[in-house]
Amino acid sequence: MFFGISSLTIGGGYAMVPVIGSALERRGWTTEEEFYELFAVAQSFPGPLALTTAAIAGKNLAGPRGAAAGVAGVILPPFGIIVAVAALLGRFGEEPHLRAFLAGAGATVPGLVAAMLVKLAKGRKWTWVRALETLGLFLALILVPRASLPLFLGGVVILYLLERRWNS
Amino acid sequence: MEFLALVWTFFKIGVISFGGGWTVVGLIKAETVPRWIDEAGFSSLLAIAQATPGPVALNAATMVGWRTFGLPGAIAATLAVIAFPLLAITGAGVIGKRLRLDPIALKTALKTGTLAMMAMTLYYLLPAPPFDPILLGIGLVSFVLVAFTKVNPLLVILGAGAVKTVIEALQMHV
């Protein structure tokens, strides 16, 4: 089982979730509906989606040992690859072609993040209150990045209370 | 002390990482640049983290850990970033039964929080002067491609690296 999940991690991040889903179904571990339910639960936890999905799927299937196996499966392959890449960079990082390649690749990142932001923003129902809340939290976060943990957690609690009051 | 600070930093990042890895990238940058890694190093780290398998936040933790304290740093930072999410999943059954939360309101609140964090990430990643026109162009083109077409982001990253390599090679020969 450990290897079953571990081999799936090639594909990366968000793209991984549907892959996990179909692999679990193929092995008869979950049905499609069960998986979507599990995925919805995974989304409401902090942590990378692939990680939380694997942990919850593992836990449901085989208890704590399953969760541990799922987590190990998700973490270990990228860990190995990153360490290998980082070690290689340490050795060849000054090579001019490689530097140019990394600079070009790195330049896409703000574009990718902006694209994700657009998709996230498109995917929700906007109201004046929500727009103001988002803007307010964003400003607070960039003004005091050091306090981002209490700001975010406190912010979510306040937003939760506001949401219950006005929208339900 | 620096080692503990690294672990604590990535533990905090793990606590906030609702809604997938990219939301916390801005925070990772605010916490680690320039203390443990420089600006250029961070941007190539992100490109590598995105182009290799595994969640971005996790990969970034591994790499920053490796850069600062070698293998022990890489292991410690990786474990630190997943510690809270795993505790939360394990403890969820217990807390969930005591606190009766309204799931829709909670989801909406988290969505707002996630959007604000994502905007923070973008704010921290925007290029600063002096601007390199080629890199700015790459950023804009990749935004358009990923936001409005179905091109695979991985291809965009690798393609951008190749374009920049070719341009620099040509410039050297002129």
Does any CB of chain A come closer than 8 Å to the CB of residue B78? yes
Considering the domain architecture, whether residues B65 and B144 belong to the same structural domain is answered as no
Considering the domain architecture, whether residues B115 and B140 belong to the same structural domain is answered as no
Considering the domain architecture, whether residues B115 and B149 belong to the same structural domain is answered as no
Considering the domain architecture, whether residues A64 and A32 belong to the same structural domain is answered as yes
Cβ separation of B147 and A85 shorter than 8 Å? no
The whole-number pLDDT of residue B145 equals 92
Considering the domain architecture, whether residues B98 and B142 belong to the same structural domain is answered as no
Q: What is the ipTM of this complex?
A: 0.85
Q: How many structural domains is chain B composed of?
A: 2
- Pair B24, B119: CB distance under 8 Å: no
Residues of B in contact with A44 (CB under 8 A): 18, 103, 106-107, 110
Q: Give the chain A residue whose CA is nearest to the CA of B169.
A: A97
The whole-number pLDDT of residue B72 equals 94
The mean pLDDT value of chain A amounts to: 77
pLDDT in tens, B105-158: 887 888 888 889 889 999 998 887 788 899 999 999 999 999 998 888 888 988
Considering the domain architecture, whether residues A111 and A85 belong to the same structural domain is answered as no
pLDDT in tens, A41-84: 776 677 777 777 777 777 777 677 777 777 777 788 778 888 88
The whole-number pLDDT of residue A9 equals 43
The whole-number pLDDT of residue A16 equals 59
Considering the domain architecture, whether residues B135 and B110 belong to the same structural domain is answered as no
Direct distance between the N- and C-terminal alpha carbons of chain A, in angstroms, rounded to an integer: 43
Considering the domain architecture, whether residues B106 and B39 belong to the same structural domain is answered as yes
Q: Name the residue among B54, B122, B134 with its Cβ closest to that of A114.
A: B122
Considering the domain architecture, whether residues B152 and B106 belong to the same structural domain is answered as no
Chain B: give the shortest CA distance to residue A27, in Å.
22
| Whether pLDDT at A15 is above 80 | no
The whole-number pLDDT of residue A31 equals 72
Token pair for B171: 């410039």
Direct distance between the N- and C-terminal alpha carbons of chain B, in angstroms, rounded to an integer: 50
Phi, psi dihedrals of residue B18, rounded to the nearest 5° = -70, 150
From A17-21, A22-26, A143-147, B11-15, the region with the lowest mean pLDDT = A17-21
| Whether pLDDT at A34 is above 80 | no
The whole-number pLDDT of residue B163 equals 93
- Residue B78: CB atoms within 10 A of its CB come to 27
The listed range with the strongest mean pLDDT (A90-94, A102-106, A162-166) is A102-106
Phi, psi dihedrals of residue A127, rounded to the nearest 5° = -130, 165
Provide the domain limits for residue B135. 129-174
Does any CB of chain A come closer than 8 Å to the CB of residue B158? yes
Nearest Cα residue to A112 out of B130, B143, B125, B78: B143
- Residue A18: CB atoms within 10 A of its CB come to 12
Chain B: give the shortest CA distance to residue A40, in Å.
10
Q: How many structural domains is chain A composed of?
A: 3
Local confidence band at A7 (pLDDT 50, 70, 90 cut-offs): very low
Considering the domain architecture, whether residues A21 and A85 belong to the same structural domain is answered as yes
Spatial separation of the C-alpha atoms in residues B90 and B94, rounded to whole Å = 9
The whole-number pLDDT of residue A94 equals 73
Q: Name the residue among B89, B105, B163 with its Cβ closest to that of A104.
A: B163
Q: At what angle do helices B56-98 and A49-92 cross, to 10 degrees?
A: 160
Residue A158: burial class (beta carbons within 10 Å; 0-12, 13-18, 19+): middle
| Whether pLDDT at A135 is above 80 | yes
Phi, psi dihedrals of residue B152, rounded to the nearest 5° = -65, 125
Contacts with A, B 97-126, CB within 8 Å: 101-126
Is the Cα torsion angle A137, B114, B156, A52 positive or negative in sign? positive
Which residue type does A161 have? L
Over residues B24-35, the mean pLDDT reads 88
The whole-number pLDDT of residue B8 equals 93
Return the higher-pLDDT residue of A93 and B65.
Answer: B65
Over residues A109-136, the mean pLDDT reads 88
Cβ separation of A112 and B156 shorter than 8 Å? yes
Cβ separation of A149 and B16 shorter than 8 Å? yes
Over residues B68-85, the mean pLDDT reads 91
Q: Name the residue among B92, B127, B134 with its Cβ closest to that of A110.
A: B127
Spatial separation of the C-alpha atoms in residues B143 and B23, rounded to whole Å = 17
Considering the domain architecture, whether residues B56 and B121 belong to the same structural domain is answered as yes
Cβ separation of A133 and B105 shorter than 8 Å? no
Cβ neighbours for A133, distance < 8 A, ≥ 6 positions apart:
A159, A162, B112
- Residue B97: CB atoms within 10 A of its CB come to 8
Local confidence band at B94 (pLDDT 50, 70, 90 cut-offs): low
Provide the domain limits for residue A148. 125-168
Does any CB of chain A come closer than 8 Å to the CB of residue B129? no
For chains A and B, count residue pairs whose Cβ atoms are closer than 8 Å: 310
Considering the domain architecture, whether residues A36 and A55 belong to the same structural domain is answered as yes
Spatial separation of the C-alpha atoms in residues A164 and A158, rounded to whole Å = 10
Question: What proportion of chain B, given as a percentage, has pLDDT over 70?
Answer: 93
Cβ separation of B140 and A111 shorter than 8 Å? yes
The whole-number pLDDT of residue A147 equals 85
What are the start-end ranges of the H helices in chain A?
2-6, 16-26, 32-43, 49-92, 96-122, 128-143, 148-167
